Amino acid sequence: MTILKNTYFWVMTLILLAVVVLSGLRIIPPMYATYQENQQTIADRKAELDKQQKFLDAVNAVKQDEASLNDLYTQAQTALPISNGSESLMLQLDGLLKELAIDATIDVPLAVDNTDDQATAQNQLEVSINGDIGYNKARSLISRLKTFARWNKIKGFSIAKSTTGFTTSVNFLAYFKPGRVPEFSGDSNIMDKAAQVFDSLRSYTTVPDSTTEGTYGRSNPFSL
């Protein structure tokens, strides 16, 4: 009788254990999966918060040096404006030629011809400088264009001796990039990187700010 009772007890115990194990196998995996998903969500949220904090720290660091930021922004807009910037380019080239004591004609289109290649034409101006320019001054001009405030690329150069001196022509492309100004990337080193790019470029004039001084009623709106 004791053996039967013990057998019955162990059978019931095994059945109960089997039920518990089977129930656990059905319940525990989904619960563990949910736990894992929650942990991943927490980790993702924490990473996003860390990213946003770094972005805010970078913004605050940039804002602390607002003067340098404004200077770099002006340099960037001069180097690669979002419009063709024909007027400011003309002023810059005029200042460059005056510094080199070069008397020449500057040909800068005020509008871009989109008939040939619209995608290319919308991003560059074809500029030419023509005049009686000696070889040494022509070399100096080309050298200065390499560090000119407006990003450019020399297309051609010709010089020929004439009865009055030299007939010289320098042709190059001045670039711009239509579209909106890109948003701040959050790079904390953006100021240093920008300075490395733009500090080597040289400006030869200060473009008047029409938003503050205006040009109405002036005989020559481009005069300084």
Q: Give the whole-angstrom CA distance, residue 110 versus residue 125.
A: 9
First to last CA, the chain: 119
The percent of residues above 70 in pLDDT, for the chain, comes to 72
Look at residue 39 in the predicted model and tell me its pLDDT. Answer: 79
The SS3 assignment for 152 reads strand
Fold of 66-198: Alpha-Beta Plaits (3.30.70)
What backbone torsions phi and psi does residue 33 show, to the nearest 5 degrees?
Answer: -65, -40
25 dihedral zone (left: phi>0; alpha: psi -120 to 50; beta): alpha
Residue ranges in the chain modelled with pLDDT below 50: 1, 115-120, 215-218, 221-222, 224
Look at residue 140 in the predicted model and tell me its pLDDT. Answer: 93
User: For the chain, which residues make up each domain, given as ranges?
Assistant: 66-198
89-147: pLDDT as tens digits: 999 999 999 999 999 999 998 866 554 444 445 689 999 999 999 889 999 999 999 99
Nearest in space to 182 (alpha carbons), one of 84, 73, 88: 73
Helix (H) or strand (E) holding 164: none
Q: Give the whole-angstrom CA distance, residue 212 versus residue 166.
A: 43
